[in-house]
Amino acid sequence: MIQNYYRASDAADAIALKKAHSQAVFLAGGTQINRGAPYGKTPEIVIDIHDALSKTIVKEGVEIIIGAMATLQEVVDSELIPSALKEAAAFIPTRSIRNQASIGGNIGAACPDSYIIPTLIALSATLGTAYGRMQVEEYLEQGNKELIYDICLPEQPDSIVAVKESRSHIAPPVVSAAVSLRRNDNKSLRACVTLGCVASRTLRLREVEQGLESGTLKFREDMEKAIGASIKPKSDILGSVGYKTYINSVVVADAIVRCLEELS
């Protein structure tokens, strides 16, 4: 149960409050932290950053800067946001959640089934934090503890596809993934294949990416096999290991094929 609540006036204030209350948790939209509040699972101290951080979405040169407090619905509605990220945000099937949840909060929560994180990785997004700018993967590897100020989207890849799969419209996903491809100046391919739902945090399938970049993975069946071999999902209420492995393999392979088709 939340016992102490602090409202940060700006980013510096938020950092100072965090230093003063090391157990405190940043409260952005609250869709993660407040969930289950009646059961006493919420943190005891929160620092509300609603008024402390930007929520604007602006274009600066080829880059798009998204304020961390921009809601996911604002991401969906913005004309500046790449369609893949809009689509990924819209995968969150409930409008009221999208209205409340912030993009920074979604990244900070680092849920393994986040729809946003795979797409941000596929977009090569970087995060502005108190400790400088870092890749999304880097942020996750460091334990996703730093306050995120903004998200920077560099120039878009040449093709990108975000995918999800769930039992029903609103059910928790068994697939949340994104694939992007970029042509370098020398025409070589740079691939990013990133999946949630199959591990404790979002993964990149480096071997699959290398196979695509080297041209050894050309056929859908080979891609499916390579993806299946790269993941080790666990059986849970959403499905068996066999199902999760299969569905991620075929859906992500399909996304790769669509990316390649778009590229050609």
Partner 1 sequence: MIINLILDGRERTIEARCGLSAQNLLKQLGVNSVRNSDDGFGFAGSDTILLDGKIVGANLMIAAQLDGREVKTVNSLRKGRALSTVQEAMIEACCVQSGYNAPAAALMIHDLIERIDSPSRADVQDALSGLFNRATGYEQFFEAVRIAVAKKKNQAYSPAKTGSFGGTSRYVGKSYRKIDATKLVAGERAFVEDRVEEDACILKVLRSPHAHANIKSIDTSAAEALPGVVAVFTHKNVPHKPYGQAGQGFPEPSPYDRVLLDTKIRHHGDRVAAVLAEDEETAIRGCELIKVEYELLPVIMDWDDAKAEGAALVHDGPIIYVNGAPENLKELNREANPKETPVVYQFPIGGNPRKNISSYVEGGIGDVEKGFEEADVILDKTYQTTQIQCTPLELHTTYVKPEGDRLTIHASTQVPYHLRRIVAGQLGVSENKIRVIKERVGGGYGSKQDILLDELAAWAAHTSARPVFHQYTRREEFISSSTRKPMRVRVKLGATREGKFTAMQMDVESNQGAYGAHTLTVPMNGVSKSLPLFLCDNACFTVTSYYSNIPPTGAYQGYGAPKVNYALQVAVKELAEKLNIEHYEFVEKNRVRKGEVLEILRCLGEGREGKPESVDSCGLDEALARGSKLINWNKKEKSTHPDIKIGKGLCIIQQGSGLPGIDQANCTVKMLGDGSFVVQSGGADLGSGLDTVSAKMVAEVLKTDIDSVAVQSGDTDAAPFDTGAYASSGTYFSGGAARNAAQLLSRMILKEAAVILKTSPNKLQLEFPGKVVGEAGEVSYAQLAWQTQGGEGSGQLVATASFTTKKSSFPYGAHFAQVAVNTLTGRVRIQKYYALQDCGTPINPGYAKGQIYGGVLKSIGHAMYEELLLDEDGCCLNTDLRSYGVPMIGDVPDDFKAELVEVNDPYGPFGAKSIAEISVNGAAPTLANAIHDACGIWLRKWPFSPENVLRALGKI
Determine if 19 is a binding residue for partner 1 (CB under 8 A): no
Token pair in block for residue 135: 């890749």
Q: Contacting partner 1 (CB under 8 A), which of 20, 80, 130, 171?
A: 171
231: left (phi over 0), alpha (psi -120 to 50) or beta: beta
CA quadruple 79, 127, 137, 191: dihedral sign: positive
Determine if 142 is a binding residue for partner 1 (CB under 8 A): no
Q: Contacting partner 1 (CB under 8 A), which of 61, 186, 237, 264?
A: 237
- What element of type H or E holds 113? none
Q: Least distance from C-beta 199 to partner 1, angstroms? A: 19
**Distance in angstroms (rounded) separating the CA atoms of residues 136 and 151:** 9
- What part of residues 71-110 is at the interface with partner 1 (CB under 8 A)? 71, 73, 93-97, 99-100
**Distance in angstroms (rounded) separating the CA atoms of residues 238 and 50:** 33
For partner 1, the closer of residues 137 and 224 by Cβ is: 224
Token pair in block for residue 69: 């407090």
Q: How far is CA 144 from the centre of its chain?
A: 12
Sheet of strand 203-204: strand arrangement: 159-166, 173-183, 189-195, 203-204
- What element of type H or E holds 27? strand 25-27
Q: Contacting partner 1 (CB under 8 A), which of 177, 181, 251, 260?
A: 251
Q: Contacting partner 1 (CB under 8 A), which of 172, 214, 219, 221?
A: 172
Q: Least distance from C-beta 110 to partner 1, angstroms? A: 18
For partner 1, the closer of residues 62 and 237 by Cβ is: 237
Q: Which residues bind to partner 1, rule: CB under 8 A?
A: 1-5, 7, 27, 30-31, 34-39, 42, 46, 48, 50, 71, 73, 93-97, 99-100, 165, 167-172, 237-240, 242-243, 246-247, 250-251, 254
